[in-house]
Structure formats: structure tokens, C-alpha cells
Structure 1
């Protein structure tokens, strides 16, 4: 993990909050009926103090009315309560229920559990949600995310549900944001002679779904932007208890052909909060460049260098950090899929990850599928990705150490073997 040791490695405050209430339920759930077995193995030698696992459990959903699902450790009998995902709809679905459990596991360890039904109990964690509909504030012990609506400098409304700013609680509550626009400016697109737009410009949503639970809060939206009806958009945030990160998955699907001059995702735009950018390059090396030039002459170690040597569009992670305040904020690119509906690759021109200058000394990064010229994007093209946005501590000698560690953990999840009990 990538946070201060006193935050989670030694105190493990969040972890004990999460599991404490679950273990207290042990004495109150004496008549638990087993419905499956679960084996969990740590595959790459990383001890995990708090790992979330999603398990698809075969069960008649009607058995879960006013009930909960638990993991019962076969060694000590301890119980961990789960969060049944989308509980409001499970009675309408099949006999498979998805449940999220918090677990801990040592490096290379294998743990055996029973999945059991028990009485549902309230579970308290550090994860909180405030607000109505999509005008939301979501927070845990590491950050407070603002998803409320925002007006641009020309008085245009950017819809709620897209990240406006994020406050870093363990770094003097500094509020990462960008003046007059959303901080998270993606997915985004532009046609010739038409204003540049993003998912935050959706005025009427096709679908909205908010999942509220003790371990994860998710915010899902889908719809189209005026003047860009050819693009069907979907996006979902997931915020976790006890974690200094959140995820965002999105898809742009072309329901009709169009020609674009810009097509982007993974864009985070911010005021002057950071001093450097850092990212992996070929041969396992890490590159660091200053975001602001201290001398009149631009050295080859600057943002302008990237015009000649662009960062790979699919670089496994990308981040900004501050060498004085010792915090960073970065994107970990866990999944991407650019296959069209026919199985071929959706088109791109000059795809790259790019850092760009913004007004009033702002800086932003984004992943560009079209960086120059015009591109005809045929009907059926799709661009999907899932990124994790993480706050991390920085050691100036090895500034990439913690984000690399987190990427290794998230890209190598624990291995699960689920066996239903017939």
C-alpha cells in the first residue's frame, strides 16, 4: 500500500473499523446456514491488510430478505459480513448474487472460508455519503470527493455526478480542483466547429444508479451530450472504505458514425498543486519531469520534450506529485478495451498520454485517442477503460515507489475459488 505507515500499516484504523463490527456479529449469528465454500490465495507475495473481493454466489435471492451473507473463517470461525451489491434489484434477477467482502491475507497465504447466511446487521465504516440525487459528497478517512454541479466561466452548467474536486484529508485538507470547470474532465470529445464537450455536459441521463453501502459507494450514469448524439456514454465511480483511492470506468460507444478532432479520456485538470510528473517508460525505467520551468531556457527535461517523445497512451500509470509537500495524485490504468462491436480495433490517430498547459498555471494530463487532425470514427467503435485514481505519499529519492507498489497490488488481485453447496 502507498500511505503513511501510521495511517494504515501500524494502526490499521480503517481495517479494524471494517472488520470490528463484522466480528462482533459472531455471537449473534449462531444459526448460520452454509451456502458455499471460498478459497482465497495471495498470488504474488504482497501482504494485504485490507483487500476487497467480489464473489458471485449462487443462491435464491428470496432467501436473503432481511438477511446478510458472511464469510466464516474455517480456522477460527470468525465472521465477516458482506455488502450485497444492488440489493434492491436482486429479487428481479437470476439466482446469482454479487457480494463484496473485506479480507486480510498474508503474502502467498491461502485461506479457506464458508459463505453463510445470517441476520443482517448495520456495519459502520469510515465511508460516508451526503447529498441528494447526483449532487453528492463522498468521503472516507483519506479524502472528500465533491460530485456536485458546477458552472463554467461563461455561466454554463456542468452536471452533477462528475468529480469537481477532491480534498486530501491527510495533507492539510488541500483541495485539488480547477477553476470554473470540473477537475475530472472525461470522457471528452470534439467535432469541427462544435464546442468541446465531456460527460459532465450530459443534460438528461438515460440511467442513474447509486449504490450505498458500508464498503463501497458507486455512482453510475449513462446518456448522450447535445450535438454529440452519435456517442453513447457510460461512466461509474466506485469509492471504497479505508482506501486512499477511487475507481472510474467508462465507455464511449459510437451508435452512429462521426468525424472528430478530439477524443480523450483519463483527463485530470488541476491548479498549481504539483511540481513534477512521473510515469514509466521502456525497459522498466521511470521518468520524472518538472511541470514548471525554473529557467528561461527550456531544458530537454520538460513538458515540451514530450512533443518529440510522447508518453504511451497505455502507460500502466501516470501521476503528478509535489516534492515539497510530499504528496502525489495519479492514475493507474488497470483495464482498457478498444475493440469495436465486430471485434476489430476502434480507430485512433497519434494516441498518447499528454501533459498540457492550462490558464493561470494549471496543468492537466489525459489519454488521447485523437491528438491531431480529423478522424472518421465508424458506427460500432468502442473505447472502454477502468482507472484507479490514488493519493500517495512521496519519497523524493524514489518518488514512484508507493504508486508502483499499489499498481502491482491492484493489477494482481487475489485468486478466488468459489464452490456452491448444492
Structure 2
């Protein structure tokens, strides 16, 4: 391709293929495009359908400093694609037109509320009953718009409560206790709002924390990825992530077994309930730490909220595994009949964690419809899509 094509606004081609025979009404694809940021003044990146010429505007995700240093733009495009279909686009520069979606953000700094047509996520600060400050930037509650605005929360703590950790004879701390940040970056656009934070919790300076939320337009879910890096060796009595704690909104827990079957467990004991059906019995047969998804659902209102585990990695700087004790996904009781789930790297005892260990996760938290015949149908279908994303091939202009 000649350099004149590049100057005229053509930047390459995009070929997208659906790999597993599932329709995608709305899918987001990310593409790294080499381009000087100066070329996007008053203009924007689009993909142009080779079939009908339709233009789809992208959202540039990189912050300004990265763009200036790298001349590499990471751009997000919304598409739709049918089962086993292949679509071809040209990547072009066109006039920047305003894009309106259902994704909104209100507030200042990290004290924000993000919403789309499915939910309202509150990330504002909160004080606990013990007058302990729980900082902004971590989810306090999630309101479900389809279900009369039911607000998933706990009365005086954060709903999303992880990563979390504890030393012997010390207070239990979480990422919500982070007060001083090494880095904060909020990205706001029509398709994606992201909130990134990093730093160390006072008293736990041995643990470097990173966490990022991703909220999408038109999707009933949001993403969260986190990493705990041990910068100085320490001994802990607890180490967790993927923790969601809620009041009495749900009746059952649900999760897949290695056999492919789905297990449903009542969250509340009601006579004449058989004892082996209770969540207490899970102490004898714990849920796998790397279960591909996990959730709670309500069998009368027929809604659910769950975690789809996209990535789960624990390692050290030498490529070996970071230590764990009795790792599992666990359902626990809380006061006023609250229930919560978490992934535990240390469930009991003490664990010495050497410097250089890392614990990483990437999850998608989703609202889903449930029915009593097959309550897992929607969350299992979403897991299949997220675990098998569309295949994206970018062909630069000079190839």
C-alpha cells in the first residue's frame, strides 16, 4: 500500500471472525493502530464496512502521555457479528462526530457513579459503623434497573471488598482502605469508562496493589482486574480476591462442577432442608478456586449476579508459583443474614509469602436472568462468549 493512502486517511484493514457459532449483537474489539496523535485533532478513527460502507466510530483508550510517547493508539470499536461470520473493514480517519450511548458518569475524581441501561454502580466513599473511611474508587453498591432498582449492597461496608489481606494480630484490610495512590487514571468515553488505581494500604506496605474497573455501554456487566505484588516478604493469615458481599437479596449459590454439571446450593437453611444441601457442607467439598464462573440467584424474582473468571494467575518473578494454602472459592455468612463469596488463597493458618510473588485476576461481574429449570443458562452462555472472543486480525497499511 502506498504512503499516499496513509496520508489520505486509510490506515489498514480489519478482519473479524466469529469462532464458535454464537451470535454477538454487541461486541467490543480492541485494535492497536500506529498513528501520530496529531493526526486525530478534530478527527476520529472509524472502521468502514467493506460490504455496505457503514462507518463505526472508535474510542481511543490510551491516555495522552502514552499516545505522545508511542504513536500507537489502542482503539475500541463496537460491532455486531453472527455465528461463524467473517466481517471486513477499512480503518479510516474521518471527522469527529459526537457519539451518544447509554453509558454515563456523574461525580468528581474517584467519587463517581457509573450507569448504563442495566445498572448503576456507585463508587463513592463510605464510612463504616466503626467510623473507618472506605475510600472512593471501589464499588459501594450496584442497582439493578431491570429489577425495580434493587440495590445490591451492605449497610456500612463496600459491596466489592477485594483484594484483601490480614496479618496475625492486625486488622483485616482491603483495596477499599487504600488512601494514598501511586497512580490514578479515569478513562471516559461513549463505549467504555475505566477506573484504575494503584498503591499500598497503610500497615501493609509489603503489598503493591493495582485494580481497574471497566464499565461498558449496552452490557449487563462490568470488568475488574487486580494484582497483588509482594514487594517485601510477609506472613499473612488471610489473602483473598473476587469478594462480593451482599444483604439478603438471593436464595441460592450456583457454580459449575468439573464434570460439566451445575450445582445449586441454598444460601439459607430452612427446615426440613437436608443437611448435605447446605452451604456448610461445602467446607467438606469446597468450590474450586479457579471455577470458571460463580454466582448467586433469587428463585422467586428470577435474577442473578455472578462472577465470570476470565484470568486467574499466581506466580513469582522467577516463573514459579506463588504460595497458597487450601485455595478455594468460599461462601460465607455475615451479620444480619448477609452472604458473600470470595476466592481464598489462604483459608486458614499462616502463610509466609516471599518477595516477588504475584496474584492476578480478571473477572467480569454480570447481572443475569435466571429460571428455576435452568438458572445457569445465561451466565454459562456469557462465559462461553467471553472465553472464546471474536478473532481480530489487523493488516497495517504498508503490508
**What TM-score, normalized by structure 1, do the two folds share?**
0.91
Q: Which residue of 2 aligns with 1:249?
A: 225
| 1:66 has 2:42 as partner | yes
Deviations 1:269-321 (A, max 9, x none): 00000000000012111100000011176510111110000000000000000
| 1:417 has 2:393 as partner | yes
Q: Which residue of 1 aligns with 2:24?
A: 48
| 1:233 has 2:233 as partner | no
Q: Could you list the structure 1 runs, at least 4 aligned residues long, displaced by more than 4 angstroms after superposition.
A: none
Trace 1:21-420 onto structure 2 (pairs within 5 A): 33-295=9-271, 299-420=275-396
Q: CA deviation at 1:65?
A: 2.0
Deviations 1:118-139 (A, max 9, x none): 1112100000000000000000
Q: Is the 8 A contact 1:192 1:261 kept in 2?
A: yes
Q: Distance in 2 between matches of 1:345 and 1:205?
A: 28
Q: Distance in 2 between matches of 1:381 and 1:87?
A: 29
Q: Distance in 1 between matches of 2:66 and 2:242?
A: 32
Q: Is the 8 A contact 2:248 2:339 kept in 1?
A: yes
Q: Distance in 2 between matches of 1:109 and 1:172?
A: 37
Q: CA deviation at 1:58?
A: 1.7
* Shift in CA distance, 215/297, structure 1 to aligned 2, threshold 3 Å: closer
Q: Is the 8 A contact 2:199 2:209 kept in 1?
A: yes
Q: Distance in 2 between matches of 1:91 and 1:283?
A: 47
**What TM-score, normalized by structure 2, do the two folds share?**
0.97
Most deviating of 401-410 and 292-301: 292-301
Q: Any idea what SS the aligned residue of 1:234 has?
A: strand
Q: Distance in 2 between matches of 1:130 and 1:156?
A: 25
Q: Is the 8 A contact 2:67 2:73 kept in 1?
A: no
Q: Is the 8 A contact 1:231 1:253 kept in 2?
A: yes
Q: Distance in 1 between matches of 2:257 and 2:116?
A: 33
Q: Any idea what SS the aligned residue of 1:338 has?
A: strand
Q: Any idea what SS the aligned residue of 1:77 has?
A: coil
Q: Is the 8 A contact 1:40 1:111 kept in 2?
A: yes
Q: Distance in 2 between matches of 1:92 and 1:345?
A: 37
